[in-house]
Amino acid sequence: MPSENKIVEIKNLSKVYGNGVEVYALNSIDLNITKGEFMAIVGPSGSGKSTLLHIIGILDTPTSGTILIDGENVSDMSDDQRATVRNKKLGFVFQYHHLLPDFTALENVMMPMFIAGVEKKEAKERATQLLSDVGLHDRMEHRPNELSGGQCQRVAVARALANNPDILIGDELTGNLDSKSSRMVYDILRRLNEKYKQTFIIVTHDDALAERTDRIVRIIDGKIVS
């Protein structure tokens, strides 16, 4: 069973690269993340923050230590088991939106639900609500090439939430946006976090945006320093 109110528990986690000469991307990390928390992971390039995010997202495996997602130890799972947890519990937004260019915003948000076996009527209703939540109720029938970069990233946020994941993971999701669009995306993330009570874990280089989250975890040379 998960510890009370914790959605992610990381214990003595390390990630080591290299043949002969070992390089620690992460070095003995301990970290607990609370259900519903909006958290930023920050640090200089090469500090290990994206490695940590990818391990939390079950996109990478640690060299040693354990990570529990909602009480389940995903460190030793098979690839199929990890994929199942990832699909059920996690949503992802990356620096580039990766929308399908031939589909409308509505269809892009519906796609993960189709893959999960959700009926078309239910998928359309939820996708419509999510696009309204991100301020795109009047852009639902537009394709990505008819949307701005900020609007495309907001569609990507809606798509990441389509299957109601416990955790939304964002890796430099405003890295390609201007400052105004970045602030808008973060305002939307804050509102969504408060509305749906999901856990949001964001890696960012932007300290001003990180300051608007509930907690900042700062990593330098593979270690949490604050």
The rounded mean pLDDT for the chain is: 92
pLDDT confidence of residue 107: 97
Is residue 14 in a domain?
no
Is the CB of residue 127 less than 8 Å from the CB of residue 104? no
Instruction: Provide the token pair at 186.
Output: 């973060």
Question: Is residue 2 one of the residues assigned to a domain?
Answer: no
- The three-class DSSP label of residue 145 is helix
Tokens of 56: 């939390």
Round the CA-based radius of gyration of the chain to a whole number and report it: 18
Classify residue 70: in a domain, yes or no. no
Q: Where is pLDDT greater, at 23 or 34?
A: 34
Examine residue 207 and state whether it is found in any structural domain, yes or no: yes
Domain count, the chain: 1
Tens digits of residue pLDDT in 45-97: 889 999 999 999 999 999 999 999 999 999 888 889 988 888 889 999 988 88
- Dihedral angle over CA of 186, 187, 188, 192, nearest 10: 100
pLDDT digits (tens, 9 = 90+) for 179-225: 888 889 999 999 999 999 999 999 998 888 889 899 999 999 999 99
20: in domain: no
Listed as own residue / partner, the contacts of 189-194 with beta carbons closer than 8 Å and 24 or more positions apart are: 189/38, 189/157, 190/38, 191/133, 192/133, 192/134, 192/157, 192/161, 193/36, 193/38
- d(C-alpha 54, C-alpha 194), whole Å: 24
Q: In this structure, what CATH number is given to the domain that contains residue 196? A: 3.40.50.300
Residue 115 structural domain? 36-60+76-224
Flag whether 10 is in a domain. no
Whether the pLDDT of residue 3 is over 70: the answer is no
Q: Is there a domain that residue 214 lies in?
A: yes
Residue 4: predicted pLDDT? 64
Q: Contact at 8 Å (CB) between 170 and 163?
A: no
Rounded to two decimals, the pTM is: 0.90
Q: Per residue in 145-166, pLDDT tens? A: 999 999 999 999 999 999 999 9
The answer to whether 8 touches 33, Cβ cutoff 8 Å, is yes
Based on DSSP, count helices (H) and strands (E) in the chain, helices before strands.
Answer: 7, 10
Give domain status of residue 27, yes or no: no
pLDDT-derived band at 20 (thresholds 50, 70, 90) equals confident
- Residue 42's pLDDT band (boundaries 50, 70, 90)? very high
pLDDT digits (tens, 9 = 90+) for 107-143: 999 999 998 899 999 999 999 999 999 999 999 999 9
